[in-house]
Amino acid sequence: MTTSAVTVQIPVTKPVLDQAEEQAVVQVLRSGWLVQGPKVAEFERMVADYVGARHAVATSSCTTALHLAMLLHGLGPGHEVILPSFTFIATANAVRYVGATPVFADIDPVSCTLDPAAVASAVTPRTRAILAVHQIGLAADMEGIQAVARRHGLLVVEDAAPSLGASYRGRRVGGLGNVTCFSFHPRKVISTGEGGMITLQDDALAERARRLRAHGMSVSDLARHGARRVIIEEYPEVGYNYRMSDLHAAVGIQQMKKLDGLLERRRERAERYAAALRDVEELQLPAGRPESPHTYQSYLVQLRGARKSRNQIMEELLAVGIASRPAVMAIHLTPAYADCRRRLPVTERATREGLLLPLYPTMTDAEQDYVVEHLRRILRG
């Protein structure tokens, strides 16, 4: 058997979609109203209620949500924003979109989220905000981050793209009081294909976010459509087209109904991995913290003294039909951020030695046993 003859049998992830989503999309198509409308409003209400926020504003992606979050806080040229490098590049790109300067801080080696001490030492007189990332289903150390923010008078924005359903000290991420951004890309916990959401508490900021995502227009398409008199819209400021469509939102509504079940299945699968891999010395397994249970959007294992390189292990897994992915990237090492280089030893090690194993709610025991068996064999060999 040659390696090229083997097709992947076990993907890294798989969205859970069925007739509920199919029917919801057909219903929107038949309604004739495709753009942001009643389905987006319903989806927003569901997410706001779920996370415990006053407002939720749907967007075309988490990246555009993050861009709006930067604009809402008036961040721009001359302002420094402290964020982790151990995250998807979109987190830092949003800082760049408004002309502000990303300043990368190192992470905690176990949780792989921002280390508040590293954040504190990155503060300068130009620092305006901390962009905390709730990475792959684990809430960042918000108490430590808020303490630094209070001490220096900084804003806090949360990138919770992969972490819908994660919580911190008994409260859901997105409802902790800061402007928080979520993603509904298929790699995340629930998916609308593409899509994002901002959750926030402040009425005026929410209204501005709604305006900015729709060309800066003073009245929404839906309000104008439903009005009994002629409404001539105004454009008080330059906005964007960052809207979600009702087709996407209809999928999101059905996904929200599944969310608790999906999270439960993920936790179950993660616990099963932990039981099966606990004794493997070369692996540091992911774990939640008492104040922030893990939702395992991804299952990140870190290699500790393995004889083979991470990439070699990935190749050997693929040869038996098992997909895996390198850990979260380190933005400061990519060419686009060559001007933001600094030494971040914990981040560099985590990105080099981290491996994402397959994990999805519909993963069977047999599939998981197959992954465990081959991973153990590869590490031994």
Ligand X SMILES: *Cc1c(COP(=O)(O)O)cnc(C)c1O
Residue 340 beta carbon to ligand X: minimum distance, rounded to whole angstroms: 17
Which residue number, 131 or 317, has a Cβ lying nearer to ligand X? 131
Position 206 contacts ligand X (CB under 6 A):
no
Among 56, 98, 131, 133, binds ligand X (CB under 6 A): 133
Position 101 contacts ligand X (CB under 6 A):
no
Position 174 contacts ligand X (CB under 6 A):
no
* β-pair partners for 5: none
Reduced 3-state DSSP string for 150-162: HHHCCEEEEECCC
Q: Transcribe 36-74 into DSSP letters.
A: SSHHHHHHHHHHHHHHT-SEEEEES-HHHHHHHHHHHTT
| 372/378 Cα distance (integer angstroms) | 10
| 312/374 Cα distance (integer angstroms) | 13
Position 159 contacts ligand X (CB under 6 A):
yes
The torsion of the CA quartet 50, 55, 57, 63, rounded to 10 degrees, works out to -70
Which residue number, 95 or 378, has a Cβ lying nearer to ligand X? 95
Among 24, 53, 58, 62, binds ligand X (CB under 6 A): 62
Both tokens of 379, joined, read 């590490």
What angle do the packed helices 310-319 and 365-380 form, to 10 degrees? 130
Position 113 contacts ligand X (CB under 6 A):
no
List phi, psi (to 5°) of 238.
-70, 125
Position 63 contacts ligand X (CB under 6 A):
yes
Both tokens of 227, joined, read 């009005």
Position 91 contacts ligand X (CB under 6 A):
yes
Which sequence positions are flagged as catalytic? 188
| Helix (H) or strand (E) run with residue 127 in it | strand 127-133
Residue 133 beta carbon to ligand X: minimum distance, rounded to whole angstroms: 5
Position 88 contacts ligand X (CB under 6 A):
yes
Among 90, 148, 314, 340, binds ligand X (CB under 6 A): 90
Position 161 contacts ligand X (CB under 6 A):
yes
Q: Give the range of 35-43, 155-163, 286-294, 330-338 binding ligand X by CB under 6 A.
A: 155-163
Both tokens of 351, joined, read 């990105």
Position 185 contacts ligand X (CB under 6 A):
yes
Residue 377 beta carbon to ligand X: minimum distance, rounded to whole angstroms: 31
Footprint of ligand X (CB under 6 A): 61-63, 87-88, 90-91, 133, 159, 161-162, 183, 185, 196
